Amino acid sequence: MKLKVGLLGGGSWGTTVASLTSKNAKTTLWARNQETVDEINEHHTNSKYLPGALLHKGLRASSSIEEVVSTADVLVMGVPSQHFRDVLKDAKKYIRPWIPIVSLAKGLELGTKMRMTQIIEEELPGHPAGVLTGPNLAKEIHSGQAAAAVIAMVDKTIAKELQGVFNSGLFRVYRNTDVVGCELGGALKNIMAIATGMGDGANAGDNTRAALITRGLSELTRLGTAMGGRRRTFAGLAGMGDLVATCSSSKSRNHHVGFEIGRGKSLEQIIAEMNEVAEGVKTAKAVMELAKEHNVSMPISEEVYKVLYEGNSVYDAFKGLINLESGSEAEPG
């Protein structure tokens, strides 16, 4: 018997994943906007978020969260981290017992600083919680370019079953039991993408970008392992892989934010011009709090935070990093 997939969220990545799973399982996507729902059902497109992309013809959409959730054997959460809990609460009354819930979000909840699987465990205890993450740019996947992701769940049997749901042709899905590390890698790399975007926008050069990516990996590994993630996870798809893709691509929302800041635009103006969420902007707040709690040095993240929230310029940020004393590469800082 094939599993039925219910996916909540009609943005670019949620729609992309729903189109992929439609090749393997009956999939229904929930979106708030009725126009988006009608467009997916009638034209197999979502032009607001994926212009020019043709979705799988088997994908159905609905504006009724009850319709999508009540029949799902697997629930996929494709909503931004700051709306994750509210949407999950709406779904809670309709979900059947023990249904696995997979997060696509790459962020941390403000206030609680919780990962999305922690929110799932708090709101819906007893439901296996996992995350699908990795270097995945939606527009490239739709254009037929190869990509790889990782499904992270504690239960290996469930992860293997879900691997078959998400695996699709040139989209290869691997398994990992390190949920903490995979989730943190996806959230933390967004801040590094803003940093490299700022450098690219200010024409800092390729050497600067390479240094930021490499030292950024060191930062997210330090905090990730301090919070319980496994070091080797950060060298894999959820860590280094996602970091390289997000920090190097103009298709990355977080890189875009940094790039525009580097060119002199204000954060408010950049956000107002975007139709999707750049998770790193709000995650930066939670990460600074976590770094302090765990006594972890995160100089790049700190400089990004100062640019986003304390009025510092990109020049101030790079000056702050240059003035840091260079220690051993294997040590913090």
The tens digit of pLDDT for each residue in 41-95 reads 999 999 999 998 999 999 999 999 999 999 999 999 999 999 999 999 999 999 9
Residues 91 and 239 in one domain: no
pLDDT at 152 over 70: yes
Residues 208 and 158 in one domain: no
Residues 231 and 311 in one domain: yes
Closest CA to 91 of 115, 71, 111: 71
Over range 192-207, report the average pLDDT: 95
328 assigned to some structural domain: no
Of 161, 177, 193, the residue that ends a domain is: 177
Q: Residue 196's pLDDT band (boundaries 50, 70, 90)?
A: very high
Q: Residue 318's pLDDT band (boundaries 50, 70, 90)?
A: confident
- pTM for the whole thing? 0.93
Residues 191 and 172 in one domain: no
327 assigned to some structural domain: no
Of 177, 212, 241, the residue that ends a domain is: 177
pLDDT at 332 over 80: no
3-state secondary structure of 11: coil
Could you list the residue range(s) of the whole structural domain that residue 163 is in? Answer: 4-177
70 assigned to some structural domain: yes
pLDDT of residue 260: 96
Over range 132-155, report the average pLDDT: 92
Q: Residue 291's pLDDT band (boundaries 50, 70, 90)?
A: very high
pLDDT in tens, 247-283: 999 899 999 999 999 999 999 999 999 988 889 899 9
331 assigned to some structural domain: no
329 assigned to some structural domain: no
Residues 274 and 155 in one domain: no
Residues 99 and 196 in one domain: no
Are β-strands 74-77 and 101-103 bridged in parallel, bridged antiparallel, or unpaired? Answer: parallel
- Mean per-residue pLDDT over the chain, rounded: 93
52 assigned to some structural domain: yes
pLDDT of residue 328: 54
Q: Residue 105's pLDDT band (boundaries 50, 70, 90)?
A: very high
Which residues make up each annotated binding site for sn-glycerol 3-phosphate?
A: 106, 134, 189, 242, 252-254
3-state secondary structure of 25: coil
pLDDT of residue 84: 97
Check which CATH number belongs to the domain holding 266 and give it: 1.10.1040.10
End-to-end CA separation in angstroms for the chain: 52
CB 21 within 8 A of CB 76: yes
Residues 123 and 140 in one domain: yes
Residues 203 and 214 in one domain: yes
pLDDT at 325 over 80: no
pLDDT at 312 over 60: yes
pLDDT at 140 over 70: yes
- DSSP result, 222-285: HHHHHTT--GGGGGSIIIIIHHHHHHH-TT-HHHHHHHHHHTT--HHHHHHH-SS--HHHHHHH
CB 45 within 8 A of CB 7: no
Q: Which residues of 102-141 are buried (b: 16+ CB within 10 A; e: fewer)?
A: bbbbbbbbeeebbbbbbbbbebbeebbbbbbbbbbbbbbb
Q: What percent of the chain has pLDDT over 90?
A: 88
Check which CATH number belongs to the domain holding 158 and give it: 3.40.50.720
Within 10 A of 158 (CB to CB), how many other CB atoms are there? 17
Residues 120 and 242 in one domain: no
Residues 202 and 167 in one domain: no
Residues 53 and 154 in one domain: yes
* DSSP designation for 168: B
Of 177, 194, 216, the residue that ends a domain is: 177
Which residues make up each annotated binding site for NAD(+)?
A: 9-14, 138, 253
Phi, psi of 169 (to 5 degrees): 60, -115
Residues 263 and 291 in one domain: yes
79 assigned to some structural domain: yes
pLDDT of residue 41: 98
CB 63 within 8 A of CB 35: no
Q: How many domains does the chain have?
A: 2
Over range 318-324, report the average pLDDT: 78
Q: Which position among 189, 285, 306, 319 bears the catalytic label?
A: 189
Q: Is 285 a catalytic residue?
A: no
